[in-house]
Structure 1
């Protein structure tokens, strides 16, 4: 059953780009609900009479738009229910200038009859517009929700896939909070009783027609200044999570964050791909203006250093995690420098054994350098393969670090400086008494050979 709500959806989509100083033609298609439920009572009258009165007031505001053409599509007016006919949608008055009186008269004499194919009407409305350049918009007036299995959110997606930017404003009657929330994927909600709501909508139409909407992203340091830059960032549609724009943040020739043109008809979520990432949700742009999006993103640098030995550079990866978290943020190579957000991090270097540091502080606009001890070389020799492990020996306690390869009679390893113990038993020996135990010490850049026989 339909909800007792009168909705007005304003959807705008740009068909062609236009210069800021040149006013393009504005085409506005009215999609009007004439389904049977419009006869239901509402505040002492019927929904259809409320809708007619509302449009009469709205059309007076629409007449203020210069260089505009209008058209009318109606659904639910040709065939009664039952039975339900979900193809009941038709372009009644095509685009033409100075035809608002004709549209007002057609709506005034309208008699509701059928069902509510909202999504189909929106999709078919894309074919109602000429192919010539202009700013094209849809105004949908309806008393409820889809009755033909369609979905307004899916319709918006289909329009976008055709290169049409779909953007509704939802204006409703008698919707409670949960009902209004169902339109989050469609657009912002306005109550019909809001004073001046029609003037506000017309102002938005005029602004989008005359002026280009721009934005700059200010990546702020700890002092609140937009000094951070050269970071990838992505704009998503907040409701559908569709990825819309990807940019590398740039400072222009004047040293200010660069300006980009962006569609004002959506709500955005911005992801700044720092380490870790920063998100800014619910971004609403003011059409026809320059918008500033500020994001706190103070950064410092983390450098890992390990010296070379006799011209040979040791290789190792370093895992970086937020302090106290087990989630890996980044894997950074030794002898490299990368940026991180200001904060505290846990470090794990994939040497043998692991080299760990906790609560490493990254500070604004400075470099934290981690010096990793250079390893030494260990050559293991045995007469036959066997089972065994290497342990770090510290204060009488053994800590496992490595299992020997039981398929090979010898191995070459690089270990950090320290005291170690190895336990080994040949495969063919079936008694515990044949366990071999060796203690040894590793120095940076040193070499040692252990014979396990």
Structure 2
């Protein structure tokens, strides 16, 4: 009676959990060890018989759960162990609704007879194809084994690669009567549970299922200068902590209730979060609490920078290098006519006009727009009778400052220059005497087109 009550409570709890996430299908693939070592004595029976009994009762408890699909892959069950078949693995029951497959899997397990070796890595690799493409689902692997890899494979590497590709979440590994020293061997592959007896086996299966399907939610609060979560509409990348492995990529969103939207993350990992503001904001080594709503707070106060042209607009729109005040690293290349968001603070701008315009200590304040205007460039057509060599200088009557070189391969070219007084110095390629250098002074006016003839 106590056992029935426990399972009834477990079913109600798990069903409630699944109903909360009714739009997501949980797909659980059981990878079942049927290698020869499962004949070993364990408590009052042999391992395979205990596993069959416990799995049968457990599967019975799953058949009425909504939004749950089950499948079964076995290994070590088709070839005798002396032949050492390291490809002895097979998908015995493909995915289907738990209402159908709980019985099918139970019946298939009951017919298994341990025979072969333990190709864990190969079985994991093969299970990638078991998870057929399906939208809006969570793929979960539960490996039940009584031994370690026996085929020189690398289960941890295979598991990590398939997780990285998004085939499945971090696996759960249940060790049946394993020596405690093997815990570290499996820890790198997934979350490891050691079971020491039949009762413990039942409890661990229930715990693993609950952890696998329990919704762990995360909310990222991007804080403004008043420490309120008002910042949004920026990309966020979650990395596995201490690595370059991208686990999730989301565009931060404020939902219809005015709160940061809720995310679902794998609770068994630690994360490094990068928020792609300008400049980026980071938070390292984030732990989340399983089965609860977690809030990650990150300072990201932002304002706007608008770059505009003053005067008659032509086809030329310059770009600008944006750097943190006093620093050399370029954070962004912003076009004129564009509005861009930045973390509050002071920035240095290098406008890529001819000549360059440097603007220091441009301040960005919370939720306000700092508009920077420069004059529209004039476009100057340099008309030549042939190719040659020349340069353009700013000429204020006292000094000359180099601006750019003319293209020696063109007979005519258009160059956009900021308003001001200039000098062009030019010599034709065929002219072999310095005295044949041509100088022309000219003035550029904002938005005005003119021709400078080099004759």
User: Which aligned pairs between 1:409-420 and structure 2 lie closer than 5 A?
Assistant: 409-420=411-422
Q: Is the 8 A contact 2:54 2:202 kept in 1?
A: no
Give the aligned partner of residue 424 of structure 2.
Answer: 422
Give the aligned partner of residue 245 of structure 2.
Answer: 241
Counterpart pick for 1:386 among 380, 385, 388:
388
Q: CA deviation at 1:86?
A: 0.8
Q: CA deviation at 1:449?
A: 5.8
Q: Is the 8 A contact 2:420 2:443 kept in 1?
A: yes
Q: Work out whether 1:251 is the aligned partner of 2:251.
A: no
Q: Work out whether 1:116 is the aligned partner of 2:119.
A: yes
Counterpart pick for 1:355 among 317, 334, 357:
357
User: Which aligned pairs between 1:253-272 and structure 2 lie closer than 5 A?
Assistant: 253-261=256-264, 270-272=273-275
Q: What TM-score, normalized by structure 1, do the two folds share? A: 0.67
Q: Work out whether 1:224 is the aligned partner of 2:218.
A: no
Q: Work out whether 1:338 is the aligned partner of 2:332.
A: no
Long gaps (5+) in structure 2: 1-16, 64-69, 95-100
> Hey, what's the Cα distance between the residues in 1 that align with 2:448 and 2:93?
89
Give the aligned partner of residue 88 of structure 2.
Answer: 88
Taking a change above 3 Å as real, the CA distance of residues 438 and 169 of structure 1, as seen in their structure-2 partners, is same
Give the aligned partner of residue 436 of structure 2.
Answer: 434
Counterpart pick for 1:293 among 296, 306, 309:
296
Give the aligned partner of residue 276 of structure 1.
Answer: 279
Counterpart of 1:174 in 2: which secondary structure?
Answer: helix
> Hey, what's the Cα distance between the residues in 2 that align with 1:429 and 1:125?
73
> Hey, what's the Cα distance between the residues in 1 that align with 2:253 and 2:406?
51
Q: Could you say which structure has the greater relative contact order, defined with CA pairs below 8 angstroms and 6 or more residues apart? A: 1
Counterpart pick for 1:206 among 207, 210, 215:
210
* Of 25-34 and 114-123, the range deviating more from structure 2: 25-34
Q: CA deviation at 1:445?
A: 5.4
Q: Work out whether 1:32 is the aligned partner of 2:33.
A: yes
Q: CA deviation at 1:227?
A: 0.8
Q: CA deviation at 1:388?
A: 0.5
* Of 285-294 and 297-306, the range deviating more from structure 2: 285-294
> Hey, what's the Cα distance between the residues in 2 that align with 1:336 and 1:71?
53
Say how many residue pairs are matched: 414
Taking a change above 3 Å as real, the CA distance of residues 48 and 332 of structure 1, as seen in their structure-2 partners, is farther
> Hey, what's the Cα distance between the residues in 1 that align with 2:28 and 2:383?
84
Q: What TM-score, normalized by structure 2, do the two folds share? A: 0.66
Q: Work out whether 1:141 is the aligned partner of 2:113.
A: no
> Hey, what's the Cα distance between the residues in 2 that align with 1:201 and 1:418?
79
Q: Deviations over 1:62-120 (max 9, x none)?
A: 978982379987644775666531133478999757x99x98x999xx98863434332
Give the aligned partner of residue 374 of structure 2.
Answer: 372
> Hey, what's the Cα distance between the residues in 2 that align with 1:429 and 1:176?
84
> Hey, what's the Cα distance between the residues in 2 that align with 1:430 and 1:125?
74
Q: Deviations over 1:294-336 (max 9, x none)?
A: 3332211111122122x65752222324456665443322132
Give the aligned partner of residue 181 of structure 2.
Answer: 174
Counterpart of 1:86 in 2: which secondary structure?
Answer: coil
Taking a change above 3 Å as real, the CA distance of residues 368 and 35 of structure 1, as seen in their structure-2 partners, is farther
